[in-house]
């Protein structure tokens, strides 16, 4: 579904991504793990068209993404939940969700999907008229995920969904990621909580200073001594 070949990204002369190559197959949960500054967020932003890349190729469902604008990438069925949520704080919960469907014209389908979001995240329904900026961190993460799902993506990019959240809330978010995947949405997950990420993923790539240094079956990497000492604190 997604294929990246020899991707190179520079920020003001700094070589942030160095010949990154990876793929995500339909129906998978694939996770990128690594320390802060390893290049995980840059990879997702390059896929979404939010940062330009100097060389390499990104293909989504056979479409070369390099010259496609971010909103057009979204219309291909690729949705992005950015690091730090990036909800619209002055708008209500309902308005944020409606913005997620701004490319759609099917009113009945939008209404159906809205109900589906409220089933997944009952807290959002309770706060439907509340300004998004007044929500807790966990509720804002639910809203960011709900907003991304409102465009009916075939694949969703999730950037650090557990950041700054209490352990109980994190468990709920990861349960929802699995539920979204079970419903047919492919997931590419960037996550600093390597243990949680590897426990739900099919496959994983490990990034260090802009390069992929390891890849494989997520459950096997969870048992790898080097991974356990470097990323799981064991």
Two structure tokens written together for 211: 């390069």
- In the block, tokens 């896929």 appear at 47
Q: Tokens representing 135?
A: 């929500």
Q: Are 181 and 211 in contact (CB under 8 A)?
A: no
Q: In Å, how far are 35, 68, 190 from 222, measured between CA atoms?
A: 16, 36, 16
**pLDDT tens digit string along 134-148?**
999 999 999 999 999
- Name the pTM for this structure: 0.93
Mean pLDDT of 72-92: 93
Q: How many CB atoms lie within 10 A of CB 163?
A: 15
CATH of domain 2-86+152-231: 3.40.50.300
Burial, 180: exposed, middle or buried (Cβ in 10 Å; 0-12, 13-18, 19+)? buried
Q: How far apart are CA 165 and CA 176, in angstroms?
A: 15
| pLDDT band at residue 233 under the 50/70/90 scheme | low
Locate the domains of the chain by residue range: 2-86+152-231
């Amino acid at each position: 579904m997604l294929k990246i070949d020899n991707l190179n990204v520079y920020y003001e002369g700094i070589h942030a991504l160095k010949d990154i190559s990876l793929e995500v197959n339909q129906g998978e949960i694939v996770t990128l793990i690594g320390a802060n500054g390893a290049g995980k967020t840059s990879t997702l932003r390059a896929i979404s068209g939010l940062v330009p890349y100097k060389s390499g190729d990104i293909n989504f469902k056979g479409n070369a993404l390099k010259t496609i604008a971010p909103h057009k990438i979204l219309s291909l069925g690729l949705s992005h939940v950015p690091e730090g949520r990036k909800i619209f704080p002055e708008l209500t919960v309902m308005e944020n969700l409606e913005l997620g469907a701004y490319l759609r014209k099917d009113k009945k389908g939008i209404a159906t999907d809205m109900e589906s979001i409220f089933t997944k995240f009952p807290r959002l329904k309770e706060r439907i008229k509340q300004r998004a900026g007044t929500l807790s961190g966990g509720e804002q993460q639910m809203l960011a995920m709900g907003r991304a799902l409102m465009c009916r993506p075939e694949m969703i990019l999730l950037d650090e969904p557990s950041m700054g959240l209490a352990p109980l809330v994190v468990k709920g978010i990861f349960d929802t990621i699995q539920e979204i995947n079970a419903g047919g949405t492919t997931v590419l997950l960037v996550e600093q909580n390597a243990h949680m990420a590897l426990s739900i993923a099919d496959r994983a790539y490990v990034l260090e200073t802009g390069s992929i240094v390891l890849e494989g079956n997520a459950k096997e990497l969870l048992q790898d001594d080097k991974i356990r000492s470097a990323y799981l604190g064991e």
